[in-house]
Amino acid sequence: FMLRLIPTVVERAAKQAADDVRAEALQELQQEVGQVVTAEKQEEMTLRQKAADQAQAAALPYQQAKLRAVQTMWSYVARGRELATAVTQLKAKAVEIADAAIPLQEIGNVVPAQQLQMQAHDLMDKALQMENQAKTLQSSAERINKELASYDAAARQAAAHGAYEVNPSVIDTERDLPKPPYPLVLPSLAFMAAIAPAPAAAPGPAPGPSA
């Protein structure tokens, strides 16, 4: 009877050994799948960070140019306001001097009256010149303000191009990882989400000039 059981026991032992070897091999292969996916995601994260750094570097010259334009715009606005204030004062002074010449002219004191009138005329001419300068500065400030959006657009294009050069996947359609053969499986979505990079914040717009 014991002799008849020997083949069965050997067969079961062989099957168990084969199952153990298969399970161990599957476990090792599954670990390799996890390592490959982890390495892939880490490489993707590295590329995304490099792309973000390159995008920032590419956009920086345009952002700096915009900052200089904003500074120039506000300097024009400030200078224009200073000139506008001076124009008001000069015009008032010119009228005052012209009015002072009238009594002198009425009493026949022509020479001093003409001198005052010439002073008033010179002041008014100076005031008009400064008024034109103030208008030119204001127009220049308004033109710069309208062009500020073009700096933002150029910065976005430069950033996108810089990021694409480092990591084309930031624009190209993302490809899914190929599925391993059964019974191997890819790591869970929770694992994939846990190691995904966080998105970067976008800068805000610059304020424009007020009249």
Residue range 110-116: mean pLDDT, rounded: 90
**All residues at 6 or more sequence positions from 195 whose CB lies less than 8 Å from its CB, including other chains:** 38, 41, 42, 45
Q: What Rg value do the Cα atoms of the chain yield, rounded?
A: 41
Percent of the chain scoring above 70 in pLDDT = 69
In the predicted model, is pLDDT for residue 207 greater than 70? Answer: no
pTM, whole model, 2 decimals? 0.59
In the predicted model, is pLDDT for residue 126 greater than 50? Answer: yes
In the predicted model, is pLDDT for residue 22 greater than 60? Answer: yes
pLDDT grade for 97, boundaries at 50, 70 and 90: very high
More confident residue, 20 or 44: 44
In the predicted model, is pLDDT for residue 73 greater than 90? Answer: yes
User: What φ, ψ does residue 127 adopt, rounded to 5°?
Assistant: -65, -40
Residue 164 confidence (pLDDT): 83
Residue 191 confidence (pLDDT): 45
Chain-wide mean pLDDT for the chain? 78
More confident residue, 23 or 101: 101
Min mean pLDDT across 73-87, 120-134, 191-205 is at: 191-205
Residue range 140-163: mean pLDDT, rounded: 90
In the predicted model, is pLDDT for residue 75 greater than 90? Answer: yes
Distance (Å) of CA 187 to CA 23, 134, 146, 182, 184:
18, 68, 51, 14, 10
Residue 77 confidence (pLDDT): 95
Q: Determine contact, residues 73/141, Cβ cutoff 8 Å.
A: yes
The whole-angstrom separation of Cα 133 and Cα 86 is 12
More confident residue, 78 or 15: 78
Min mean pLDDT across 27-31, 58-62, 106-110, 136-140 is at: 27-31
Q: Determine contact, residues 162/53, Cβ cutoff 8 Å.
A: no
In the predicted model, is pLDDT for residue 178 greater than 60? Answer: no
In the predicted model, is pLDDT for residue 182 greater than 60? Answer: no
More confident residue, 88 or 1: 88
In the predicted model, is pLDDT for residue 36 greater than 60? Answer: yes
